[in-house]
Structure 1
Amino acid sequence: MCELDEERLMQGTQTVDARPAADATGQTAAEARLQRNLKIVVVALGVLIFAGLATAVGRIIYLASAKPAQPASSSMTLAPAAGLQLPAGAQVKSISLSGDRLAVHYEASGAEGVAVIDLATGQPVASVGITRAAPN
C-alpha cells in the first residue's frame, strides 16, 4: 500500500506545462510570426535606404551634368570698341548688367532715358525715353 500511495503522490505533484506547444526550433507560433514580421520590416527598411541613396546620387549626377541656365560671365567675349552715345550733358544715374546686356539709366537736360547695349557685339539694342507725369 505504500507503493500505491507513492504513485498517487507522484501523480499529484506532477505539474502541467501551461506554455503553448513549441516547434522543432523551440519557438511558439506567435514567436515565429513575430520573427518573420521583423525580418520583413528590416529588409523593407534596407531597400528604402538603398533606394534613397540611389535617388540622391542620381540627382547629384543629373544636376552636375546639366548646362547652367546663364553662361558664366568670364566666358563672355566683349566687343573691342563698345561705346554708347548719350545726349550732351547727360548724367548716368545707374547701370545694370544682365547676361550680355548692359542697361544704362541716364538723365540729360530734364529728360530721362534707358539705353540697352549688347556687350557681345557692342551695338545698341534699344533706347527707351522716360517721361514723368506732372505731380497733382
Structure 2
Amino acid sequence: MFSVEVEPITQAVVLSLRGELDFDSTVQLDEAADRLLSGEDGQPALVIVNCTDLYFCDSSGIGCFVRMYQRLTARSGELRIAAAPAPVTRAFSLTGLDQVIGVYATMDAALASGSGGYGAGTGAGLPSVSLSAEG
C-alpha cells in the first residue's frame, strides 16, 4: 500500500509519502504533484517530500521525483527530500540525483536550509489532500 498526504505549511508544501513507491503506485504521487503544481490558488515555491515512512523506491519512483524537480525548477521553485531511509537515499546516490536535489537527514534540516542538502540541490492557501491505494 502507498499513500501521499499533502500538507501546506507556512514556508512550503510537504508531501508525506508512506509505503512503497514503485511502478504501480507512482500514479498517486504524479496526481498529487499535478494538482499541487497546477493549482489555481497559486503554486508553492518550495516542496519538501517527507520520506520518513517510505520503505522502497524503484526507478519509476525516481522518475516521479525528477518530473517534480523539472516542473518546480522551470518556475524557479525548489524540491527537497527529507528523512529518507537508507535504501531510498542509496537510490538517490546511485543515480546522482542527490547532486541535483537537496537531500536532508530530517524534516527540520530541510525546513531550516537556505538551499541544498548533502548534494548540490540548489533547485535553481492550498487544501490538504490524502491519497492512498492498496497494491
TM-score (norm 2): 0.17
More strand by share: 2
More helix by share: 1
Using CA pairs under 8 Å that are at least 6 residues apart, name the structure with larger relative contact order, 1 or 2: 2
